[in-house]
Structure 1
Protein backbone atom coordinates (compact mmCIF):
# COMPACT_ATOMS: atom_id res chain seq x y z
CA UNK A 1 0.00 0.00 0.00
CA UNK A 2 1.15 3.44 -0.78
CA UNK A 3 -0.03 6.37 1.32
CA UNK A 4 1.08 9.71 -0.05
CA UNK A 5 0.90 12.46 2.59
CA UNK A 6 1.12 16.17 1.82
CA UNK A 7 0.67 19.36 3.80
CA UNK A 8 -0.90 22.64 2.65
CA UNK A 9 -0.77 24.81 5.76
CA UNK A 10 -0.14 28.53 6.34
CA UNK A 11 2.05 27.63 9.32
CA UNK A 12 5.14 25.51 9.58
CA UNK A 13 4.92 22.26 11.47
CA UNK A 14 7.96 20.68 12.99
CA UNK A 15 9.49 17.45 11.74
CA UNK A 16 8.23 15.43 14.69
CA UNK A 17 4.59 16.53 14.16
CA UNK A 18 4.91 15.82 10.44
CA UNK A 19 6.26 12.32 11.12
CA UNK A 20 3.46 11.59 13.61
CA UNK A 21 0.80 12.67 11.07
CA UNK A 22 2.41 10.61 8.29
CA UNK A 23 2.64 7.51 10.48
CA UNK A 24 -0.92 7.98 11.72
CA UNK A 25 -2.23 8.12 8.14
CA UNK A 26 -0.38 4.95 7.21
CA UNK A 27 -1.58 3.03 10.28
CA UNK A 28 -5.23 4.20 10.13
CA UNK A 29 -5.62 3.40 6.45
CA UNK A 30 -3.87 0.02 6.86
CA UNK A 31 -6.27 -0.90 9.66
CA UNK A 32 -9.35 -0.07 7.58
CA UNK A 33 -8.08 -2.00 4.56
CA UNK A 34 -7.21 -4.99 6.77
CA UNK A 35 -10.68 -4.92 8.35
CA UNK A 36 -12.24 -4.94 4.91
CA UNK A 37 -10.12 -7.90 3.79
CA UNK A 38 -8.34 -5.86 1.17
CA UNK A 39 -4.71 -6.40 0.28
CA UNK A 40 -2.88 -3.26 1.39
CA UNK A 41 -0.30 -3.67 -1.34
CA UNK A 42 -2.97 -3.19 -4.01
CA UNK A 43 -4.16 0.32 -3.10
CA UNK A 44 -2.86 3.86 -3.14
CA UNK A 45 -4.35 6.63 -1.00
CA UNK A 46 -3.44 10.30 -0.87
CA UNK A 47 -3.85 12.27 2.37
CA UNK A 48 -3.70 16.04 2.49
CA UNK A 49 -3.51 17.85 5.82
CA UNK A 50 -4.63 21.44 5.48
CA UNK A 51 -6.38 24.33 7.25
CA UNK A 52 -9.98 25.59 7.43
CA UNK A 53 -9.48 28.10 4.64
CA UNK A 54 -8.35 25.56 2.05
CA UNK A 55 -10.85 22.85 3.00
CA UNK A 56 -13.62 25.46 2.88
CA UNK A 57 -12.69 26.19 -0.75
CA UNK A 58 -12.77 22.48 -1.59
CA UNK A 59 -16.04 21.96 0.26
CA UNK A 60 -17.63 24.84 -1.66
CA UNK A 61 -16.22 23.73 -5.01
CA UNK A 62 -17.10 20.04 -4.76
CA UNK A 63 -20.08 19.91 -2.40
CA UNK A 64 -21.60 23.38 -2.71
CA UNK A 65 -21.10 23.94 1.03
CA UNK A 66 -19.43 27.29 1.73
CA UNK A 67 -18.04 26.28 5.11
CA UNK A 68 -15.06 24.50 6.57
CA UNK A 69 -15.45 20.84 7.44
CA UNK A 70 -13.28 18.28 9.18
CA UNK A 71 -12.71 15.74 6.42
CA UNK A 72 -13.46 15.33 2.73
CA UNK A 73 -13.06 12.15 0.70
CA UNK A 74 -12.65 11.94 -3.04
CA UNK A 75 -12.95 8.34 -4.28
CA UNK A 76 -11.39 7.65 -7.66
CA UNK A 77 -13.96 4.96 -8.51
CA UNK A 78 -16.46 2.66 -6.87
CA UNK A 79 -14.71 -0.16 -5.00
CA UNK A 80 -16.64 -2.70 -7.10
CA UNK A 81 -15.09 -1.26 -10.27
CA UNK A 82 -11.51 -1.72 -9.09
CA UNK A 83 -9.49 -4.39 -10.83
CA UNK A 84 -6.61 -5.51 -8.66
CA UNK A 85 -6.13 -8.67 -10.73
CA UNK A 86 -3.74 -6.76 -12.99
CA UNK A 87 -1.18 -6.83 -10.20
CA UNK A 88 -0.88 -3.05 -10.24
CA UNK A 89 -2.10 -0.95 -7.31
CA UNK A 90 -5.43 0.85 -7.72
CA UNK A 91 -5.77 4.47 -6.65
CA UNK A 92 -8.46 4.38 -3.99
CA UNK A 93 -8.73 8.16 -3.70
CA UNK A 94 -7.89 11.24 -1.68
CA UNK A 95 -8.61 12.21 1.92
CA UNK A 96 -8.37 15.88 2.96
CA UNK A 97 -8.31 16.80 6.66
CA UNK A 98 -8.46 20.25 8.23
CA UNK A 99 -6.09 20.29 11.19
CA UNK A 100 -7.79 23.51 12.40
CA UNK A 101 -11.15 21.75 12.70
CA UNK A 102 -9.55 18.59 14.07
CA UNK A 103 -7.90 20.63 16.85
CA UNK A 104 -11.21 22.29 17.78
CA UNK A 105 -13.09 19.00 17.75
CA UNK A 106 -10.40 17.29 19.84
CA UNK A 107 -10.73 20.02 22.50
CA UNK A 108 -14.55 19.81 22.42
CA UNK A 109 -14.46 16.02 22.81
CA UNK A 110 -11.65 16.09 25.37
CA UNK A 111 -9.38 13.83 23.33
CA UNK A 112 -5.85 14.14 21.99
CA UNK A 113 -5.41 15.63 18.52
CA UNK A 114 -3.89 12.33 17.37
CA UNK A 115 -7.10 10.51 18.37
CA UNK A 116 -9.28 12.99 16.46
CA UNK A 117 -7.11 12.87 13.34
CA UNK A 118 -7.13 9.06 13.51
CA UNK A 119 -10.93 9.11 13.59
CA UNK A 120 -11.05 11.45 10.58
CA UNK A 121 -8.61 9.28 8.60
CA UNK A 122 -10.70 6.18 9.31
CA UNK A 123 -13.91 8.00 8.43
CA UNK A 124 -12.41 9.26 5.18
CA UNK A 125 -11.06 5.84 4.21
CA UNK A 126 -14.43 4.20 4.84
CA UNK A 127 -15.98 6.75 2.48
CA UNK A 128 -13.36 5.84 -0.15
CA UNK A 129 -14.48 2.22 0.20
CA UNK A 130 -18.09 3.14 -0.47
CA UNK A 131 -19.50 3.47 3.04
CA UNK A 132 -21.79 6.38 3.80
CA UNK A 133 -24.15 7.72 6.43
CA UNK A 134 -27.05 8.94 4.30
CA UNK A 135 -29.62 6.92 6.23
CA UNK A 136 -29.87 5.30 9.66
CA UNK A 137 -28.91 1.80 8.44
CA UNK A 138 -25.86 2.97 6.50
CA UNK A 139 -24.84 5.21 9.38
CA UNK A 140 -25.05 2.38 11.92
CA UNK A 141 -22.87 0.14 9.75
CA UNK A 142 -20.31 2.88 9.11
CA UNK A 143 -20.18 3.99 12.75
CA UNK A 144 -19.63 0.39 13.93
CA UNK A 145 -16.77 -0.10 11.49
CA UNK A 146 -15.35 3.29 12.42
CA UNK A 147 -15.40 2.47 16.15
CA UNK A 148 -13.79 -0.94 15.59
CA UNK A 149 -11.01 0.60 13.49
CA UNK A 150 -10.48 3.42 15.99
CA UNK A 151 -10.11 0.92 18.85
CA UNK A 152 -7.51 -1.00 16.82
CA UNK A 153 -5.69 2.24 16.01
CA UNK A 154 -5.63 3.28 19.69
CA UNK A 155 -3.95 -0.05 20.53
CA UNK A 156 -1.19 0.58 17.97
CA UNK A 157 -0.69 4.14 19.24
CA UNK A 158 -0.44 2.98 22.87
CA UNK A 159 2.05 0.32 21.79
CA UNK A 160 4.35 3.02 20.39
CA UNK A 161 4.54 5.13 23.55
Structure 2
Protein backbone atom coordinates (compact mmCIF):
# COMPACT_ATOMS: atom_id res chain seq x y z
CA UNK A 1 0.00 0.00 0.00
CA UNK A 2 1.00 3.62 -0.34
CA UNK A 3 2.80 5.42 2.45
CA UNK A 4 1.20 8.20 4.42
CA UNK A 5 -1.59 8.34 6.90
CA UNK A 6 -2.92 4.93 7.83
CA UNK A 7 -6.63 4.76 7.17
CA UNK A 8 -9.12 1.94 6.86
CA UNK A 9 -12.35 3.25 5.35
CA UNK A 10 -15.06 0.63 5.68
CA UNK A 11 -18.49 1.71 4.50
CA UNK A 12 -21.40 -0.38 5.75
CA UNK A 13 -24.57 -0.08 3.66
CA UNK A 14 -27.85 -1.71 4.64
CA UNK A 15 -31.06 -2.34 2.78
CA UNK A 16 -32.51 -4.46 5.57
CA UNK A 17 -33.05 -3.77 9.23
CA UNK A 18 -30.24 -5.16 11.38
CA UNK A 19 -29.06 -4.58 14.92
CA UNK A 20 -26.16 -2.28 15.64
CA UNK A 21 -24.41 -5.29 17.26
CA UNK A 22 -24.36 -7.16 13.92
CA UNK A 23 -23.18 -4.06 12.05
CA UNK A 24 -20.42 -3.44 14.62
CA UNK A 25 -19.31 -7.09 14.55
CA UNK A 26 -19.05 -7.04 10.75
CA UNK A 27 -17.05 -3.79 10.78
CA UNK A 28 -14.72 -5.08 13.50
CA UNK A 29 -14.21 -8.40 11.70
CA UNK A 30 -13.37 -6.62 8.44
CA UNK A 31 -10.88 -4.34 10.21
CA UNK A 32 -9.19 -7.29 11.93
CA UNK A 33 -8.96 -9.26 8.66
CA UNK A 34 -7.43 -6.31 6.80
CA UNK A 35 -4.90 -5.64 9.55
CA UNK A 36 -3.99 -9.35 9.68
CA UNK A 37 -3.26 -9.17 5.94
CA UNK A 38 -1.02 -6.14 6.43
CA UNK A 39 -3.47 -3.72 4.85
CA UNK A 40 -3.54 -0.41 6.68
CA UNK A 41 -4.90 1.89 3.95
CA UNK A 42 -7.96 0.94 1.94
CA UNK A 43 -11.56 1.60 1.04
CA UNK A 44 -14.02 -1.26 1.31
CA UNK A 45 -17.81 -1.27 0.94
CA UNK A 46 -19.97 -3.89 2.62
CA UNK A 47 -23.66 -4.24 1.72
CA UNK A 48 -25.87 -6.04 4.22
CA UNK A 49 -28.90 -7.36 2.40
CA UNK A 50 -31.50 -10.12 2.09
CA UNK A 51 -31.71 -13.38 0.14
CA UNK A 52 -33.65 -11.91 -2.80
CA UNK A 53 -31.10 -9.15 -3.42
CA UNK A 54 -28.06 -11.43 -3.20
CA UNK A 55 -29.76 -13.99 -5.47
CA UNK A 56 -30.33 -11.26 -8.08
CA UNK A 57 -26.70 -10.13 -7.85
CA UNK A 58 -25.45 -13.72 -8.01
CA UNK A 59 -27.50 -14.31 -11.17
CA UNK A 60 -26.43 -11.03 -12.77
CA UNK A 61 -22.68 -11.23 -12.11
CA UNK A 62 -22.00 -14.98 -11.79
CA UNK A 63 -24.84 -16.52 -13.82
CA UNK A 64 -25.80 -18.54 -10.75
CA UNK A 65 -29.51 -18.25 -9.98
CA UNK A 66 -29.20 -19.16 -6.29
CA UNK A 67 -28.94 -17.61 -2.87
CA UNK A 68 -25.49 -17.48 -1.27
CA UNK A 69 -24.18 -16.05 1.97
CA UNK A 70 -21.46 -13.75 0.60
CA UNK A 71 -20.41 -12.25 -2.73
CA UNK A 72 -17.15 -10.34 -3.17
CA UNK A 73 -16.31 -8.02 -6.03
CA UNK A 74 -12.63 -7.10 -6.23
CA UNK A 75 -11.97 -3.72 -7.82
CA UNK A 76 -8.83 -4.94 -9.63
CA UNK A 77 -10.06 -8.40 -10.59
CA UNK A 78 -9.50 -9.03 -14.29
CA UNK A 79 -8.31 -5.50 -14.98
CA UNK A 80 -4.78 -4.61 -16.03
CA UNK A 81 -5.41 -0.87 -15.81
CA UNK A 82 -3.85 1.59 -13.40
CA UNK A 83 -6.34 1.64 -10.55
CA UNK A 84 -6.02 2.94 -7.04
CA UNK A 85 -4.63 0.01 -5.01
CA UNK A 86 -6.35 1.34 -1.92
CA UNK A 87 -9.87 0.65 -3.25
CA UNK A 88 -10.39 -3.05 -2.53
CA UNK A 89 -13.94 -3.53 -3.79
CA UNK A 90 -17.33 -4.55 -2.48
CA UNK A 91 -18.64 -7.33 -0.28
CA UNK A 92 -22.32 -8.28 -0.22
CA UNK A 93 -23.64 -10.30 2.71
CA UNK A 94 -27.07 -11.89 2.91
CA UNK A 95 -27.75 -11.60 6.62
CA UNK A 96 -30.50 -14.30 6.72
CA UNK A 97 -28.26 -16.85 4.97
CA UNK A 98 -25.04 -15.89 6.75
CA UNK A 99 -26.65 -16.20 10.18
> TM > 0.5 between the two?
yes
Cα RMSD (Å) of the superposition? 2.6
Q: How does 1:36-47 map to 2 (within 5 A)?
A: 39-41=39-41, 43-47=42-46
Structure 1's consecutive aligned runs of 4 or more residues displaced over 6 angstroms after TM superposition are: none
Distance 1:80 1:64 in 2: 20
Q: Which has the higher contact order (CA 8 A, sep 6+)?
A: 2
Give 1:6's aligned residue: 13
User: Of residues 25, 29, 35 in structure 1, which corresponds to 2:30?
Assistant: 25
Distance 2:96 2:80 in 1: 34
Runs of 5+ unmatched residues, structure 2? 1-7
Q: Which has the higher helix share?
A: 1
Distance 1:73 1:96 in 2: 6
Native 8 Å contact 1:73 1:96 kept in 2: yes
| Number of residue pairs matched by the alignment | 92
TM-score under structure 2 length normalisation:
0.73
Give 1:121's aligned residue: none
Distance 1:8 1:52 in 2: 11
Secondary structure of 1:5 counterpart: strand
Runs of 5+ unmatched residues, structure 1? 104-161
Deviations 1:5-30 (A, max 9, x none): 11222xx2222332222222222233
Q: Which structure has the bigger radius of gyration?
A: 1
Q: How does 1:33-72 map to 2 (within 5 A)?
A: 33-34=37-38, 39-41=39-41, 43-72=42-71
